[in-house]
A and B are shown apart, each in its own frame.
Chain A
Amino acid sequence: MIDLLLDTAPRWALLHAPALLVMAPLFLAPLLAILPSGRLSWLISIFATLFALFCALILVGQVQASPVGVVGYDVGNWPMPIGIVLRVDALNSMILLLVASIGVLATIFSWPTVKAEIPERKHPLFYSAFLVCFAGLCGVAITGDAFNLFVFLEISSISTYVLVALGAGRDRRALPAAFNYLIMGTLGASFYIIGVGFLYSATGTLNIADIASKLPDLAGNRSVEAGFAFIIVGLGLKAAVWPLHQWLPNAYSYSPSFVTMFLSATATKVALYALIRFLFTVFRPEFAFEQATFTYLLMPLGLAAMITCSFQAVFQTDVRRTLAYSSVAQVGYMILGVSVGTVAGVSAGLFHLLNHAMIKGALFMAVAGVVLTFQGTTIRDFAGLGRTAPWTMTGFAIAALSLIGVPLTAGFQSKLQLGYALFDQGMWWAVVFVVFSSFLAVIYMGRILEAIFFRPPINPRKSRKEAPILLLVPLWILALANIYFGITTELPLGLARDAAAAAFGLEAF
């Protein structure tokens, strides 16, 4: 299919796909801001995300076809050390594909919820902010320049603060949540830029590939090590690595449903990508201080996230908070996979990253449906919905089973891969943690599922039981994807393995 796309796509698209992917949504965003109609801005957003998906598919194809597995693009024709380059390999083409496809599904599904939750005059501005955020996330994933990465990180973050704050129409607590996120996010970005500064002082360059090539000669350099520490903390904050996740539960719980869904499936994933990029491409696992980071920092943090946040999820009464804490726990799985430090471990982490995006995307879409029709997000509000809204809730249930890791779902496959990677390194004790955390997932999702399917409804609202069709279709696409990729993992696992190999600078898995 991708071959066909490469054959039929126009020449300008093939040549400039990396730039267009980011620039199209970024330049459409200001246009949306001055549009009078929310519906029109929604349609343009769909178009922009679809176009980004188109570019992402082209890039995936080009990377696979390329003999070195890298597609480079010099912005403004300025070559590498001076200008900014966009550099796409198997790792970030996978992330771009993820962000773009989730972006398309999210935008399609957004209209009913945005109409219900955002004041009408703010619709164009809302979509404008969304496109900026989308472009920023794509930019982080695509750029090959460490400082440019910071710029895009800030572009996406600042628009995210706006998006979260717009939840105030439904719940005023969105405002402190957004402010909290603003402070934490800015701290993270500052740490990151300080780290990049240290690296620049040591290497004299900002290009990621260039830094990577110069670092091996600088073994034992203090400023490199300090830069590494700052970058890990900064990106860790953005990726909600425990215990730097405090901003996340509130931001997810009170922002508009659409924003929650989109962020949960993409934002932390992109930050995690950046982290992986720095851990494996810029710095190398062979560096002594990095090995120590894996063993003494990332792995304990990943394990702690899996356990503590799963426990916290068990005690939440609000479904969105349960899912938010679960997200932090799931980030723990990915960090655990990364911290194994082998290709198999990173590929397991990336594989879970893909699967988790599908899982949480579907879950938050279903929750958005409930918010829309029943205006409540506590577990009590979900009681008996299995009867009143069977389609929405079956989609929710499939994704929930996938989150738990029941066989024949994507979540099961990613746990299996993670388990193999851990056993392979003899870390069976870490598997115990994975399993225990899955067991906690059985409990916290089981509480919700039981309310949905076995408790009598307490919410007597009769009109509009099922979520609108615009919401159901993307939800079921994701739910069926969970089952499909649980049965045959060829596509996502292949992407993840190539990506992990690319992170290590290897040709193929």
Chain B
Amino acid sequence: MSSELLIWAALCLPLLIAAGIAVTGAFSNVREGVTLVGSTVLFGVVIALATKVAGGEVPQLYVGQAAPGLDFAFKLEPLGALFALVASGLWIVNSFYSIGYMRGNRERNQTRFYICFAIAIFGAMGVAMSANLFTLFVFYEVLTLSTYPLVAHKGDAAAKRGGRIYLLTLLGTSIGLFLMAIMWTWVLAGQNLDFVQGGLLAGRNLDPAVASALLILFAFGIGKAALMPFHFWLPNAMVAPTPVSALLHAVAVVKAGVFTVMKVSIYIFGEDLLNATPGREFVLGVACFTIIVASLVAMTKDNLKARLAYSTIAQLSYITLGAMLATQAGFMGGALQIAAHAVGKMTLFMCAGAIYVATGLTNISDMRGLGRKMPLVFIAFFIATLSIIGIPPMAGAWAKYELMQGAIDRGTGFVPYVLIISSLLNIAYLLPIPILALMPVPGTPEPRPFKRPGGAPFFTVAAPVVTAALCVILFFLVGPLADFLSPAFENPASPAFAGGQP
């Protein structure tokens, strides 16, 4: 198939799936079939696109013009292909999980839930493939709006409050800061918003103060990247059903945010301009601050999902940090972290959901000794924890390694220490959960029997096991992955990138 057709397919399939779900809503088995088949086909399409990208091709699609200078255009480069792969691939796993979870919990309005989910994936695909900031922004907002009903799914007061904070923060930052940054870029770049290898704004002799202001607008305007102080929507979004937290708030939505940060850093600013921008240091500092403070806050949370949410905030800032290091190794580390953190954090969320479905427990302190009854779930949790911390042979190790490399290349004094402290903090707030569950200290009371007879539904256990296995597999696949990604970070101004592969 031609690459244009493939891009069309990747965009239209989620919408077709949404329509299919709407039509077959009355027959829940058929509806689930539509989701599963559709998501598998979508993944196939994305793989086909990624193969083309790996072969050096640049799939492009021009849809049309919204207004002079504002095009709906798509272009897939390695970074976007990676994001699309992660989002669509994990959607399949998550669909199985959703079925188990939603049925296990007897949630209402399941059809609306699956429709919004498919539309959210549509948004994520659009973000991944967009060829300019305008297209990206449109899909970024599609993603925001389509996930609002998912966050407020339960419809009680807490869910509505969480949903409202979610929507207002994301819309507020994106319209208030991100859109301003885009308009400013449009004027600075001479009525152009395209993503250009080497940086759209590079070579335009920007005043460092202007470039700094623009960068800061972007960094905070992309609220989905959850840089402090615009992080609070993420813990509030945890009122959503767990599959939403798992796919959207560990993979699609938040990764769309940091992915946008990477795109802006690489293709709007470019490595050289970024290096010449003093504001970069400031954003780097904020990212470091976010990493440390979010980890510290995570320690204080006894609610498992809240702790995972703060952990997500910290881990996301790794990617922003990687982008702000503005070195090849930094970009590579950020990109690897997108994939590694996605599988790791998704596993953790799905485990949390499985525990909730089976026992109704949400607090970590109640989970001691639970590992005896749910061994698979907690082993998966353990593996994912190691990956998040960054211990080999888990995928997270490479991301941390590259980031450390980038930080040392950069020569910034404090960043390596921040990374080390953060890893230690990760150990402190994540590792005790599986350890205490699997090997409770003597004298821990036996956990109460399952609330749901038969324990966690099969799918809710199988899905995290699969993603945990992915954490390990990705560790060994990093060579090809790095080769695949490296063209994205090539700087046309400087000699080809070498030595970044670990």
Question: B66, A438: Cβ atoms under 8 Å?
Answer: no
**Nearest residue, chain A, Cβ from B72:** A487
Residues in A with CB closer than 8 Å to B160 are 450, 454
Complex: chain B residue closest to A417, CB-CB: B67
B183's partner among A419, A443, A486, A488 (CB-CB below 8 A) is A419
Q: Are A407 and B65 in contact (CB under 8 A)?
A: no
**B142 to A442, Cβ gap below 8 A?**
no
Q: Which of B167-196 contact A (CB under 8 A)?
A: 167-168, 171-172, 175-177, 179-180, 183-184, 186-187
Residues of B within 8 A of A490 (CB): 65, 67
Contact of B176 among A435, A443, A493 (CB under 8 A): A435
Also in contact, A413 and B66, with CB within 8 A (given A408-B142, A450-B164) = yes
Residues of B within 8 A of A486 (CB): 66
* Max chain A C-beta neighbours (<10 A), residue from B66, B137, B145, B160: B66
Residues of B within 8 A of A488 (CB): 64-66
Q: Quick check: is B292 within 8 A (CB to CB) of the other chain?
A: no
Q: Which of A407, A443, A487 interacts with B141 by CB under 8 Å? A: A407
Contact flag A435-B179 (CB < 8 Å), given A407-B137, A416-B70, A446-B164? yes
Once A405-B175, A435-B176, A450-B160 are accepted as A-B contacts, the answer to whether A489 and B66 lie under 8 Å apart by CB is: yes
The answer to whether A493 touches B67, judged by C-beta atoms less than 8 angstroms apart, is yes
Are B183 and A423 in contact (CB-based, < 8 A)? yes
Assess whether A408 is in contact with B184, with CB atoms less than 8 Å apart: no
* Chain A minimum-CB-distance residue to B183: A419
Tell me if A432 and B65 are in contact (CB < 8 A): no
Decide yes or no whether B155 CB sits under 8 A from chain A: yes
A436 at the interface (CB under 8 A from B): yes
Out of B70, B141, B168, name the residue touching A406 (CB < 8 Å): B141
Asked if B380 is an interface residue, CB under 8 A from chain A, the answer is no
- 8 Å CB interface, A462-506 against B: 486-490, 493
Is A424 interfacial (CB-CB < 8 Å)?
A: yes
Interface string of B102-134 (1 = CB under 8 A from A): 000000000000000000000000000000000
Question: Which B57-112 residues have a C-beta within 8 angstroms of A?
Answer: 64-68, 70, 72
Are B176 and A439 in contact, CB atoms less than 8 angstroms apart? Answer: yes
In the bound assembly, the distance between CA atoms of A486 and B179 in angstroms comes to 16
CB <8 Å contact, A423 and B184: yes
What CA separation (Å) do A414 and B142 show in the bound complex?
18
C-alpha spacing A57/B64, complex, angstroms: 27
| CB atoms of B187 and A423 under 8 A apart | yes
- The residue among B171, B175, B176 with the most chain A CB atoms within 10 A of its own CB is B175
Contact between B183 and A454, CB atoms less than 8 A apart: no
Once A413-B66, A420-B186, A454-B160 are accepted as A-B contacts, the answer to whether A407 and B138 lie under 8 Å apart by CB is: yes
Question: Does A428 count as interface, using CB distance less than 8 angstroms?
Answer: yes
Q: Answer whether residue A309 sits at the interface, using C-beta atoms and an 8 A cutoff.
A: no
A428 touches B180 (CB 8 A): yes
Q: Is A431 an interface residue (CB 8 A)?
A: yes
- Whole-angstrom CA separation of A424 from B185 in the bound complex: 11
Q: Which residue of B lies closest to A423 (CB)?
A: B187
Supposing A407-B142, A454-B160, A493-B67 touch, asked if A432 and B137 sit within 8 A by C-beta, the answer is no
B269 to chain A, nearest CB (A): 18
A470 to B86, CA, bound (A): 48
A413 to B180, CA, bound (A): 13
**B316 at interface by CB-CB < 8 Å:** no
- Of A408, A417, A442, A454, the residue contacting B172 (CB under 8 A) is A442
**Is the contact region of chain B dominated by helix, strand, or loop, or is it mixed?**
helix
Bound complex: CA A438 to CA B141 (Å): 15
In angstroms, Cα B180 to Cα A486, docked, is: 18
Minimum distance in angstroms from A190 CB to a CB of chain B: 41
Point out the residues of chain A lying under 8 angstroms from B175, CB to CB: 405, 435, 438-439, 442
Q: In whole angstroms, what is the CA distance A252 to B72 when docked?
A: 39
- Per-residue B-contact encoding for A417-450, CB less than 8 Å = 1, 0 else: 1011001100010011001101100110010001
CB distance from B136 to the nearest CB of A (A): 10
Q: Which of B6-49 contact A (CB under 8 A)?
A: none
- Residue in contact with A416 in the complex, picked from B67, B155, B167, CB distance below 8 Å: B67
Please report which residues of chain B, range 275-333, place their CB below 8 angstroms from some CB of chain A when the two chains form the complex.
none
Judge whether B179 and A419 touch: CB under 8 Å. yes
State the Cβ distance, B237 to closest chain A Cβ, in Å: 16
Closest-by-CB residue of A relative to B178 is A435
Chain A binding surface, main DSSP class: helix
Q: A446-B164, A454-B155 in contact; A428/B67 too (CB < 8 A)?
A: no
Question: With A417-B67, A442-B168, A446-B167 given, is the CB distance from A406 to B179 under 8 Å?
Answer: no
Write out the residue numbers on chain A whose beta carbons fall within 8 Å of the beta carbon of B68.
493
For A489, list chain B residues within 8 Å (CB): 66-67
Q: Which of A405, A406, A419, A424 contacts B180 (CB 8 A)?
A: A419
Taking CB as reference atom, which chain A residue is nearest B63? A487
A429 to chain B, nearest CB (A): 11
Q: Chain A residues with Cβ under 8 A from B66's Cβ?
A: 413, 486-489
Q: Is the CB of B167 within 8 A of A420?
A: no
Chain B residue, CB-CB nearest to A493: B67
Distance (whole angstroms) from the CB of B333 to the closest CB of chain A: 31
Q: Within the assembled complex, what's the spacing in Å between the Cα atoms of A185 and B391?
A: 75
B172→A420 contact, CB < 8 A: no
In Å, the complex CA distance between A432 and B217 comes to: 12
Q: Does B152 contact A (CB under 8 A)?
A: yes
Of B180, B183, B187, most A-chain CB atoms within 10 Å: B183
Q: In the bound complex, how far is the Cα of B138 from the Cα of A489, in angstroms?
A: 15
In Å, the complex CA distance between A419 and B182 comes to 10
Nearest CB in chain A: distance from B335 CB, A: 26
Tell me how far the C-beta of B179 lies from the nearest C-beta in chain A, rounded to whole angstroms: 7
**What B residues does A416 contact at CB under 8 A?**
67, 70, 179, 183
Q: A407-B137, A450-B160 are in contact. Are A420 and B183 (CB under 8 A)?
A: yes
Measured CA separation A276–B68 after assembly (Å)? 24
Whether the Cβ atoms of A432 and B180 lie closer than 8 Å is: yes
Bound CA–CA A395/B42 (angstroms): 31
Cβ-defined contact, A406 with B184, below 8 A: no
Give residues of chain B (139-166) contacting chain A, Cβ–Cβ below 8 Å. 141-142, 145, 152, 155, 160, 164
In the bound complex, how far is the Cα of B277 from the Cα of A175, in angstroms? 62
- Inter-chain contact B187/A420, CB cutoff 8 Å: yes
* Distance of A436 Cα from B180 Cα, bound (Å): 11
Q: What is the distance, in angstroms, from B485's C-beta to the closest C-beta of chain A?
A: 29
**Which residues 311-363 of A have a CB within 8 angstroms of B?**
none
Per the bound structure, the CA–CA distance linking A442 and B144 in Å amounts to: 14
Given contacts A406-B145, A407-B137, contact A435 B168 (CB under 8 A): no
A442→B155 CA distance, assembly (Å): 20
A405 to B172 Cα, complex, angstroms: 11
- Given the complex, which residues of B lie within 8 Å of A428, measured CB to CB? 180, 184
Give bound CA distance, A492 to B168, whole Å: 30
> A215-252: which residues lie under 8 A (CB-CB) from chain B?
none
Complex CA distance for A454 and B160, rounded to whole angstroms: 8
The 8 Å CB contact of A439, one of B155, B172, B186, is: B172
Tell me the nearest residue of chain B to A441, going by C-beta: B175
The reply to whether A442 and B171 contact each other, CB–CB distance below 8 Å, is yes
Question: Which A residues lie within 8 Å of B187 (CB)?
Answer: 420, 423-424
Q: Smallest Cβ distance from B162 to chain A, in angstroms?
A: 12
Q: Which residue of A lies closest to B187 (CB)?
A: A423
**B183 cross-chain contacts in A, Cβ below 8 A:** 416, 419-420, 423, 431
A438 and B142 CA atoms in complex are apart in Å by: 18
Nearest A-chain residue to B173, judged by Cβ: A439
Q: How far is the CA of A435 from the CA of B172 in the complex (A)?
A: 9
| Distance, CA A465 to CA B70, complexed state (A) | 41
| Residue of A whose beta carbon sits closest to that of B160 | A454
User: Please, which residue of chain B has its CB at the minimum distance from the CB of A443?
Assistant: B168
Residues of B bordering A, CB below 8 Å: 64-68, 70, 72, 137-138, 141-142, 145, 152, 155, 160, 164, 167-168, 171-172, 175-177, 179-180, 183-184, 186-187
What are 5 of the A-B contact pairs (CB < 8 Å)? A419-B179, A424-B187, A435-B175, A435-B177, A454-B152
Beyond the given A428-B184, A490-B65, please list 9 additional residue pairs across the A-B interface where CB-CB is below 8 A: A406-B145, A406-B171, A417-B67, A439-B175, A439-B176, A442-B168, A443-B168, A450-B164, A489-B67
Counting from the closest, the 3 A-B pairs by CB-CB distance are A419-B183, A407-B138, A423-B187
